[in-house]
């Protein structure tokens, strides 16, 4: 039960980070959403064997974290938490792709290992960019920005409801787990057989609570639109932010900066 409550608090902290007062927080959410979209598309567009060209893309999360004063260790823990799932996606790459791409002395490196490392780096970069976007903007503001960018309003509202339902589900899970522990004398009833009824009660409780929340929202005049806590407009700063980062990302995607720098350095010393 303690771990469930700790997970809820940890999840809420990411949204609370959006209340910061840095220059990145003050930007219009649409600019940050568009830049993050360009960044993610550029990163995932690399081939499975392109590894060195991904390294310059670390500049975006590093600079954003520094300018927004985000807790680096907290974001690293969040990314590390999902790393096993990312590793599982490419776990069998070295098994099926055994073609040797590089050879260092007697050590042969197959394409499967290169593709596995490339997959991990691309996943970490994209997931990190998503966390940074939420930590500097907030999920409600992101949904509002998506709607203002042309995403159907119904989809944006459902996305925000899904986000809020996660907290409802987690809180009800904590209450159900606490009640289950208090009713178990000498740890009786804590076995695997009780999880079926626990899951059923949990679904019913979250469903009823979601209905009560929706009724309360309707009573307060909810008409299908959410309003972000921080209102902003797309101005000159947002335009410079969008054009600057988008241009840099496109340049990094188009040109092999690492190869160019390596050739220049080798030319200097030869």
Q: What is the pLDDT of residues 213-260, one digit of tens each?
A: 878 888 887 776 666 555 667 888 999 999 999 999 999 999 888 777
CA gap 112, 261 in Å, rounded: 27
In a domain, 59, yes or no: yes
Does residue 212 surpass a pLDDT of 50? yes
Tokens for 58, please give them. 């670390």
Does residue 115 surpass a pLDDT of 70? yes
The dihedral sign for the CA sequence 105, 111, 116, 120 = positive
Does residue 35 surpass a pLDDT of 90? yes
Cα→Cα distances 142→36, 104, 137, 145, 255, Å: 11, 46, 7, 5, 31
Give me the chain's average pLDDT, please.
81
Does residue 92 surpass a pLDDT of 60? yes
Predicted local distance difference test score (pLDDT) of residue 79: 83
Same domain, 189 and 242: no
Average pLDDT over residues 17-32: 89
Predicted local distance difference test score (pLDDT) of residue 163: 80
Same domain, 90 and 164: no
Contact call for residues 176 and 201 (beta carbons, < 8 A): yes
Tokens 């009724």, residue located:
215
CA gap 61, 56 in Å, rounded: 11
Cα→Cα distances 27→142, 242, 246, 259, Å: 12, 10, 15, 34
CA gap 266, 270 in Å, rounded: 6
Q: Tell me the pLDDT band of 96, cut-offs 50, 70 and 90.
A: confident
Q: Tell me the pLDDT band of 194, cut-offs 50, 70 and 90.
A: low
In a domain, 217, yes or no: yes
Same domain, 222 and 250: no
Same domain, 5 and 38: yes
Cα→Cα distances 54→36, 87, 116, 253, Å: 16, 18, 13, 9
Contact call for residues 228 and 144 (beta carbons, < 8 A): yes
Query: From the CB of residue 220, how many other CB atoms can be counted at a distance below 10 Å?
Result: 7
CA gap 126, 39 in Å, rounded: 8
CA gap 232, 21 in Å, rounded: 13
In a domain, 6, yes or no: yes
Same domain, 90 and 79: yes
In a domain, 267, yes or no: no
CA gap 221, 115 in Å, rounded: 52
Does residue 75 surpass a pLDDT of 90? no
Share of the chain above pLDDT 90, in %: 22
Predicted local distance difference test score (pLDDT) of residue 191: 58
In a domain, 263, yes or no: no
Average pLDDT over residues 179-202: 66
Phi then psi for residue 199, to 5 deg, are: -65, -40
Q: What is the largest CA-CA distance in the chain?
A: 78
Does residue 157 surpass a pLDDT of 90? no
CA gap 102, 84 in Å, rounded: 26
Average pLDDT over residues 266-270: 67
Same domain, 21 and 91: yes
Does residue 188 surpass a pLDDT of 70? no
Contact call for residues 86 and 119 (beta carbons, < 8 A): yes
Same domain, 189 and 119: no
Average pLDDT over residues 8-13: 68
Most trustworthy range by pLDDT among 61-65, 157-161, 228-232? 61-65
Share of the chain above pLDDT 70, in %: 85
Host domain of residue 189: 152-227
Poorest-pLDDT segment among 44-58, 145-159, 253-267 = 253-267
Tokens for 47, please give them. 């081939």
The four Cα atoms 104, 107, 110, 114 give a dihedral, to 10 degrees, of: -60
By C-alpha distance, which of 31, 63, 57, 32 is closest to 43? 57
Most trustworthy range by pLDDT among 8-12, 72-76, 215-219, 243-247? 243-247
Same domain, 10 and 78: yes
Average pLDDT over residues 178-202: 67
CA gap 85, 89 in Å, rounded: 7
In a domain, 160, yes or no: yes
Tokens 């998506």, residue located:
146
Same domain, 129 and 4: yes
In a domain, 266, yes or no: no
The total of structural domains in the chain comes to 2
In a domain, 269, yes or no: no
Predicted local distance difference test score (pLDDT) of residue 233: 79
Same domain, 19 and 121: yes
Same domain, 74 and 175: no
Same domain, 7 and 51: yes
Average pLDDT over residues 93-112: 76
Does residue 130 surpass a pLDDT of 70? yes
Does residue 2 surpass a pLDDT of 70? no
CA gap 249, 60 in Å, rounded: 9
């Amino acid at each position: 039960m303690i771990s469930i409550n700790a997970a809820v608090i940890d999840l809420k902290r990411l949204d609370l980070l959006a209340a910061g007062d840095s220059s990145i927080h003050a930007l219009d959410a649409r600019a940050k959403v568009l830049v993050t979209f360009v960044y993610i598309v550029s990163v995932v567009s690399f081939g499975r064997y392109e590894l060195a060209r991904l390294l310059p893309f670390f500049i975006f999360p590093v600079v954003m974290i520094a300018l927004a004063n985000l807790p680096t260790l907290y974001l690293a823990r969040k990314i590390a938490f999902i790393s096993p799932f990312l590793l599982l996606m490419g776990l069998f790459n070295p098994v099926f792709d055994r073609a040797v791409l590089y050879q260092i002395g007697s050590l042969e490196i197959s394409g499967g290992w290169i593709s596995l490392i490339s997959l991990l780096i691309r996943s970490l970069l994209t997931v990190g960019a998503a966390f940074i976007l939420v930590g500097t903007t907030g999920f409600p503001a992101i949904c509002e920005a998506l709607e203002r960018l042309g995403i159907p309003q119904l989809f944006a509202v459902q996305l925000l409801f899904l986000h809020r339902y996660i907290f409802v589900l987690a809180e009800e899970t904590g209450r159900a787990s606490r009640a289950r522990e208090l009713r178990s004398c000498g740890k009786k009833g804590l076995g695997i057989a009780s999880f079926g009824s626990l899951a059923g009660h949990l679904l019913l409780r979250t469903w009823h609570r979601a209905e009560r929340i929706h009724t309360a929202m309707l009573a307060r005049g909810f008409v299908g639109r959410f309003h972000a806590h921080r209102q902003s407009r797309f101005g000159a700063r947002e335009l410079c932010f969008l054009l600057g980062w988008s241009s840099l990302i496109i340049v990094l995607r188009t040109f092999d900066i690492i190869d160019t720098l390596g050739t220049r350095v080798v030319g200097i010393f030869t």
